[in-house]
C-alpha cells in the first residue's frame, strides 16, 4: 500500500508542532509511518490528551467517600448511592461536528456519551444537554438550532432514553460556533463495574458493532483546531453518522455479555476510534495489544490502514474476552444480530501493534501514546476588556419607570423563556422512571429494579431498593466572560442551588470546559481563572468532579471566540420521595418567603452587573456580575434541605436570570398539568420594606444565594424562625392567590394577569422558529 512521505508540511497538516514531531521520533526511535503519524495526531490532540489543560484539571477536587471510579480512571465516573447500587455519569461536547452538520453532530454526541456509560457496565437511564447558540434573529442560527435539537431528539428517542433536563442560552458570541454538550447517567451494582483495560495476556480481542467506514475520519483532531469556513467544508467527513437502533442492540448485547463474566475488559470506539480503544485499554492494563486490520469489518472497499485506524464510525465496541469463552461471546452477539469479528490478542509487550495484510503498519509503545502526550503551561494574561467591565457603574443608567412593561420583555428573552419548543421534541417519559420532568429547577428520576443491568443467575432481583436521583446542568457564560472566577463559582452554585430546591444533596459533578484558542493568553487566563472558581465551589459543596471534557478552539474567523463556558452538571440524591419539591406554587392562600437578601447593597451594581435585565432592557453586556459568597451559599442550601425535610415547604425556586420577579412569575405559571394545559395561579407581593437601593435592582437584579419558597400560612412563623436559626435571612414577601401577579414597591404598584405573562414566556421561541 502506497503511503505519502512524511514531510514537515504533512506533519503540520496533522496539527503537530515540530517539537511534538521530534518527541514522536524519540518515542519510536525512527520516523513514523503515515498511519502512525495519524495516530499520534489524534491521540496527542487536545480532545484526547488534554495537553493544554491537564495541569488545571488536577486542581479539581476528585476524592470522596462515595466515589468508586474517579476522574480520569475510566470512561465515566461512578458514585455509590447505597444498598450496593451506583450511578455512572459524564458530560462531553460535540461542538465542531454540530457546527458543520448539526443533526448528525448532535445525534452522535448523544450516542457517544451513552456508550461511555454502558461501557462501564451501567444501564443508561437518563440524558440531559446543555446548548448554546447565537441570536435567533439570524436564519443560520435557527437552522443550527433546529438541526441540533432534532438530532438530539432522534438519537435519544430512538435509543429509548429519557432526555429529561437541560439548558439553552442564546448569545451573539456563539453565532459561529454553537455548543452542544451531552450528559448521560446510568445505574449498576458495585460488582458490575467494568474496566476499559486489556487484561490477560493471550485473551482474544473482539470487535462488535457495524462495519468501519470513512465517516468520522480523524474527528478528534478536527475538534482540536480553530473552526473556519474552509476547515468546516473540508471536515464534513469528520462528522460521524449515527444509528441509534444499532446502539440499542450493542448496549443490550454488552450488558448481557457482562453478566456472563466472560469479559476481561471493554471500551467503546469513541474519539479516535479503533486507535483510542486499543492503545488506552493496553495502557490501563500495562499490557500490549496486537490486531489485524484485514479482520476488521469494513464498509467501504480498499480502505487504508490510516482510514481504518482513525475512523470514528459509530456504535462500535472493543471487547477483551477471557480465553476459552469465545463461543459464549459469539452466541450473545448472534442473538442480538450484531456484526462481530475476532481481530487480535492481548500481549505482554506493552506495545500497540497493528498489522494490515500481515504487514506491520503500526508499532508504538501503548502507554507513551496514551499517557505521555506533551503537556503545555500556556501563558495567561488578564484580558484588556475587563478594565471597562470593572469600571462600569449605574450612574447615568435610568432606573426602571415601568417594571410592568419590563417584566414581559424579560420573560420573552430567549434565554429566560420556556424551552418547551426544545423539550417537547424529546421523550422524557420513556422507561417510566421520570418523577420531575423538564420545567422545574432540576430533573428527578426513580431508579427501580428494571434499571439495573442484566443480573447474573446468583443475584437476587428483589434486593433492589428504589433510589431517587436529581440532576441539572448550569453555566451563565456571560458571568464567566465578565469575571471568570466569580462566573465559575456561580455555575456550580446555581446547579447545587437547583438541587437543593428539589430536595437533593449533591454527590458529584461533571464539567465540560468550552473555550476558545488556548494559545491566546487572554483566553487561557479565562480558562485558568474559571477553573479556579469551579474547583473552589465544588470543594465548598462537597461535589467532587468525577470526570468531564475539555473543548477548546471554539471560535470562528472574524466572529471571534465564544464566551468562556464551563458547563457544570451536578448529580444529587434524595433519600425520601416525600421530599421531592418542585418550583410552582401549590395552593391559594399560601405565603411566599424569600430566603436570602433581597438586594446586595454592598455591590456597587446591586446585582445588575451582567444581568439579563441589563442586556435585554438596556442592550448592555457589561459590569461585574453579582458576588457569590460560598459560605453563605452552603448555609442557604443546607437550610433549604432542612426546611424541606421538615415537611413545611410546598414549592422552591431559585432566583437566577431575571431576578426575583421573574422567579415569582415562573412559580405562578410553570406547572403544566397536561400537554398544552397550564395551571395558572396568581400572587401578590409586598416589597415596600425594601426601599433602599434601585427598584430595577430589587425586581430584576441577580443578587446571588436567593430562593423563593411557598408554604401554608400556619407554618410561616416556624419557617422564618428556623431559617434565622440556620443563619439564613428570610423575608415574608407575599401571598399566593388570584389570577394576577401584583407587585407593590415603595415607589408604586404594577399588576398583570398571569395568563398574559405566561404567553411571551411560553411562546417566544416557538414564534421565532415557526
Going from the C-alpha of 125 to that of each of 13, 36, 108, 317, 453, the distances in angstroms are 41, 38, 18, 20, 10
Distance CA 385, CA 519 (A): 18
User: Which segments of 230-383 are extended strands (E)?
Assistant: 263-268, 288-292, 317-321, 340-347, 351-356, 359-365
Q: Of 47, 414, 637, 653, which residue is the catalytic one?
A: 47
CA distance 145 to 415: 13
| Bridge partners, 438 (sequence order) | 440
- DSSP-derived secondary structure for 384-411: TTHHHHHH--STT-PPPS-HHHHHHHHH
Residues 6+ positions from 510 with CB-CB distance below 8 Å: 77, 89, 90, 91, 183, 545, 546, 547, 548, 568, 569, 571
Please name the residues in contact with 736: beta carbons below 8 A apart, sequence gap of 6 or more: 585, 586, 587, 588, 589, 590, 591, 592, 681, 682, 683, 710
Burial state string for 567-576 with b = 16 or more CB within 10 A and e = fewer than 16: bbbbbbbbee
Q: And the C-alpha cell for 480?
A: 464567566
Kind of pairing between the strands at 351-356 and 288-292: parallel
Whether residue 686 contacts residue 744, with contact meaning beta carbons closer than 8 Å, is answered with yes
C-alpha cell read off for 409: 420583555
Distance CA 540, CA 215 (A): 44
Q: Can 94 be counted among the known catalytic residues?
A: yes
Nine-digit cell at 693?
Answer: 437601593
Q: Which helix (H) or strand (E) holds 147?
A: helix 139-159
Sign of the C-alpha dihedral computed for residues 505, 511, 515 and 520 taken in this order: positive
Instruction: Name residues whose C-beta falls within 8 Å of residue 31's C-beta, 6 or more positions apart in sequence.
Output: 6, 25
Report yes or no: 192 and 258 within 8 Å, Cβ to Cβ: yes
Using CA atoms, how far apart are residues 113 and 470, in angstroms rounded to an integer? 19
The answer to whether residues 698 and 599 touch, using CB atoms and an 8 Å cutoff, is yes
* Contact residues for 330 (Cβ-Cβ < 8 A; gap 6+): 340
CB-based burial label for 73 (10 Å; 0-12, 13-18, 19+): middle
**CA distance linking residue 532 with residue 58, whole number of Å:** 11
**Which of 390, 385, 373 is closest to 609 using CA atoms?**
390
Q: What is the DSSP string of 447-466?
A: E-GGGSPPPPTTS-GGG---
Please, is 539 exposed, middle or buried when counting C-beta atoms within 10 Å of its C-beta (0-12, 13-18, 19+)?
middle
> How far is it, in rounded angstroms, from Cα 137 to Cα 155?
27
The rounded distance, in Å, linking the Cα atoms of 150 and 129 is 13
**Is 96 one of the catalytic residues?**
no
| The three cell numbers locating residue 318 | 472493543
Widest CA span in the chain: 85
Candidate list 2, 14, 94, 758, residue with the active-site label = 94
CA distance 706 to 638: 13
Q: Give catalytic residues, as residue numbers.
A: 47, 94
Amino acid at each position: 500500500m502506497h503511503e505519502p512521505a512524511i514531510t514537515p508540511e504533512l506533519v503540520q497538516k496533522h496539527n503537530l508542532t515540530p517539537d511534538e514531531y521530534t518527541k514522536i521520533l524519540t518515542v519510536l526511535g525512527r520516523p513514523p509511518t503515515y498511519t502512525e503519524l495519524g495516530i499520534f495526531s489524534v491521540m496527542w490532540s487536545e480532545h484526547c490528551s488534554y495537553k493544554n489543560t491537564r495541569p488545571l484539571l488536577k486542581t479539581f477536587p476528585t476524592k470522596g467517600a462515595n466515589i468508586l471510579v474517579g476522574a480520569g480512571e475510566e470512561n465515566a465516573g461512578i458514585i455509590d448511592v447505597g444498598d450496593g447500587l451506583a450511578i455512572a455519569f459524564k458530560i462531553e461536547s460535540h461542538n465542531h461536528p454540530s457546527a458543520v452538520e448539526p443533526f448528525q453532530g448532535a445525534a452522535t454526541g448523544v450516542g457517544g456519551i451513552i456508550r461511555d456509560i454502558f461501557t462501564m457496565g451501567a444501564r443508561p437511564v437518563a440524558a440531559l444537554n446543555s446548548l448554546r447558540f447565537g441570536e435567533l434573529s439570524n436564519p443560520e442560527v435557527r437552522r443550527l438550532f433546529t438541526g441540533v435539537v432534532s438530532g438530539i431528539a432522534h438519537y435519544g428517542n430512538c435509543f429509548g432514553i429519557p432526555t429529561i433536563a437541560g439548558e439553552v442560552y442564546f448569545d451573539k458570541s456563539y453565532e459561529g460556533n454553537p455548543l452542544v454538550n451531552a450528559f448521560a447517567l446510568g445505574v449498576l451494582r458495585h460488582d458490575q463495574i467494568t474496566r476499559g483495560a486489556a487484561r490477560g495476556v493471550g485473551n482474544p480481542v473482539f470487535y462488535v458493532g457495524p462495519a468501519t467506514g470513512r465517516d468520522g475520519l480523524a474527528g478528534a483532531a478536527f475538534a482540536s483546531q480553530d473552526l473556519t469556513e474552509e476547515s468546516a467544508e473540508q471536515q464534513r467527513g469528520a462528522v460521524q453518522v449515527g444509528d441509534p437502533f444499532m446502539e440499542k442492540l450493542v448496549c443490550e448485547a454488552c450488558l448481557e455479555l457482562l453478566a456472563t463474566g466472560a469479559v476481561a475488559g471493554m471500551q467503546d470506539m469513541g474519539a479516535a476510534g479503533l486507535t483510542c480503544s486499543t492503545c488506552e485499554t493496553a495502557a490501563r492494563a500495562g499490557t500490549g495489544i496486537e490486531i489485524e486490520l484485514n479482520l476488521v469489518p469494513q464498509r467501504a472497499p480498499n480502505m487504508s490502514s490510516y482510514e481504518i485506524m482513525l475512523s470514528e464510525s459509530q456504535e462500535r465496541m472493543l471487547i477483551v474476552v477471557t480465553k476459552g469463552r469465545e463461543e459464549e461471546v459469539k452466541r450473545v452477539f448472534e442473538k442480538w444480530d450484531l456484526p462481530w469479528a475476532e481481530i487480535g490478542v492481548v500481549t505482554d509487550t506493552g506495545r500497540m501493534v497493528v498489522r494490515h495484510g500481515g504487514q506491520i503498519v503500526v508499532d508504538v509503545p501503548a502507554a507513551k501514546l496514551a499517557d505521555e502526550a506533551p503537556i503545555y503551561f500556556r501563558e495567561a494574561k488578564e484580558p484588556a476588556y475587563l478594565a471597562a467591565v470593572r469600571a462600569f457603574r449605574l450612574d447615568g443608567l435610568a432606573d426602571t419607570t415601568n417594571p410592568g412593561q419590563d417584566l414581559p420583555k424579560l420573560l420573552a428573552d430567549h434565554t429566560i423563556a420556556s424551552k418547551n419548543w426544545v423539550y417537547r421534541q424529546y421523550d422524557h417519559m420513556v422507561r417510566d422512571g421520570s418523577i420531575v420532568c423538564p420545567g422545574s429547577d432540576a430533573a428527578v428520576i426513580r431508579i427501580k429494579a428494571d434499571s439495573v443491568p442484566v443480573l447474573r443467575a446468583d443475584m437476587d432481583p428483589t434486593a433492589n431498593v428504589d433510589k431517587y436521583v436529581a440532576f441539572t446542568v448550569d453555566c451563565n457564560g456571560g458571568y464567566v466572560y465578565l469575571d471568570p472566577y466569580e462566573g465559575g463559582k456561580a455555575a456550580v452554585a446555581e446547579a447545587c442551588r437547583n438541587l437543593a430546591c428539589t430536595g437533593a444533596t449533591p454527590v458529584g459533578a461533571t464539567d465540560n470546559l468550552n473555550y476558545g484558542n488556548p494559545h491566546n493568553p487572554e483566553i487561557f487566563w479565562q480558562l485558568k481563572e474559571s477553573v479556579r472558581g469551579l474547583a473552589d465551589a465544588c470543594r465548598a459543596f462537597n461535589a467532587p468532579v468525577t470526570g468531564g471534557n475539555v473543548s477548546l478552539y471554539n471560535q470562528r474567523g472574524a466572529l471571534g471566540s465564544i464566551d468562556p463556558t464551563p458547563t457544570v452538571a451536578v448529580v444529587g440524591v434524595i433519600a425520601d420521595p416525600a421530599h421531592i419539591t418542585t418550583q410552582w406554587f401549590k395552593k391559594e392562600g399560601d405565603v411566599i418567603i424569600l430566603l436570602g437578601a433581597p438586594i446586595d447593597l454592598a455591590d456597587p451594581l446591586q446585582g445588575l452587573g451582567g444581568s439579563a435585565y441589563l442586556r435585554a432592557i438596556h442592550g448592555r453586556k457589561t459590569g461585574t456580575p453579582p458576588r457569590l459568597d460560598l459560605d453563605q451559599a452552603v448555609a442557604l442550601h443546607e437550610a433549604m434541605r432542612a426546611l424541606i425535610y421538615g415537611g413545611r415547604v410546598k414549592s422552591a425556586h431559585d432566583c437566577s436570570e431575571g431576578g426575583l420577579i421573574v422567579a415569582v412569575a415562573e412559580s405562578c405559571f410553570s406547572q403544566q398539568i397536561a400537554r398544552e394545559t397550564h395551571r395558572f395561579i396568581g400572587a401578590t407581593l409586598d416589597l415596600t420594606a425594601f426601599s433602599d437601593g434601585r427598584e430595577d435592582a430589587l425586581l430584576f437584579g441577580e443578587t446571588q444565594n436567593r430562593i423563593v419558597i411557598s408554604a401554608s400560612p400556619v407554618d410561616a412563623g416556624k419557617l422564618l424562625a428556623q431559617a434565622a436559626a440556620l443563619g439564613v435571612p428570610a423575608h415574608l414577601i407575599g401571598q399566593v392567590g388570584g389570577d394576577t401577579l401584583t407587585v407593590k414597591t415603595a415607589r408604586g404598584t404594577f399588576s398583570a394577569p398571569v395568563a398574559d405573562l405566561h404567553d411571551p414566556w411560553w411562546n417566544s421561541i416557538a414564534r421565532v422558529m415557526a
